[in-house]
Amino acid sequence: MKNPFLLSSILAGLFLSIVGRPAAAELVMLEQPGCVWCARFNAEIAPGYAKTDEGRRAPLRRIDITGEWPADLEAIAPERFTPTFILVENGAEIGRLRGYPGDEFFWYLLDELIEKLDRTESQ
């Protein structure tokens, strides 16, 4: 190619289109002020979640249930129990975990949801 700047621009554009693309799946955490189990999750899991395979596969999105329900989640049934974790892909619920069972059980149950997500994607 005669113009190296043009090639660099094209490559940069391709990289940004891939990196900037939103994740199709997300782990929606329903929480509310004063939730003791939410605080425990925040202390034990939240700090490193984004660095895990699960966190990269389904980034964490927090929803305060005392506020407005997001329009993009209108197909998802709200919950009054917190914390509740809902695995969502393209606006559809894959599954949910009610409560926070501690760090070891959380990862086990989340892995089950991720496997369910993988099965729905392969169909």
Instruction: Supply the range of the domain harboring residue 91.
Output: 23-122
For the residues 81-105, what does the mean pLDDT come to?
Answer: 95
Total-model pTM: 0.79
Tens of pLDDT, residue by residue over 56-74, are 999 999 999 999 999 999 9
Q: Is residue 14 part of a domain?
A: no
Q: How confident is the model at residue 121 (pLDDT cuts 50, 70, 90)?
A: confident
Q: How confident is the model at residue 123 (pLDDT cuts 50, 70, 90)?
A: low
Q: Is residue 1 part of a domain?
A: no
**Total number of domains in the chain:** 1
- The CATH number assigned to the domain holding 70 equals 3.40.30.10
Residue 10: the pLDDT is: 52
Q: Is residue 5 part of a domain?
A: no
Task: Return the HEC string of the chain.
Answer: CCCHHHHHHHHHHHHHHHHCCCCCEEEEEEECCCCHHHHHHHHHCHHHHCCCHHHHHCCEEEEECCCCCCHHHCCCCCCCCCCEEEEEECCEEEEEEECCCCHHHHHHHHHHHHHHHHHHHHC
Q: Is residue 17 part of a domain?
A: no
Assess contact for 61 and 73: CB atoms under 8 A: no
Tens of pLDDT, residue by residue over 6-17, are 445 454 444 434
C-alpha span between 113 and 62 (Å, rounded): 18
- ω into 83 cis (within 30 of 0): yes
Q: Is residue 3 part of a domain?
A: no
pLDDT exceeds cutoff 70 at 99: yes
Residue 14: the pLDDT is: 44
Q: Is residue 61 part of a domain?
A: yes
Q: Is residue 30 part of a domain?
A: yes
Residue 44: the pLDDT is: 97
Q: Is residue 109 part of a domain?
A: yes
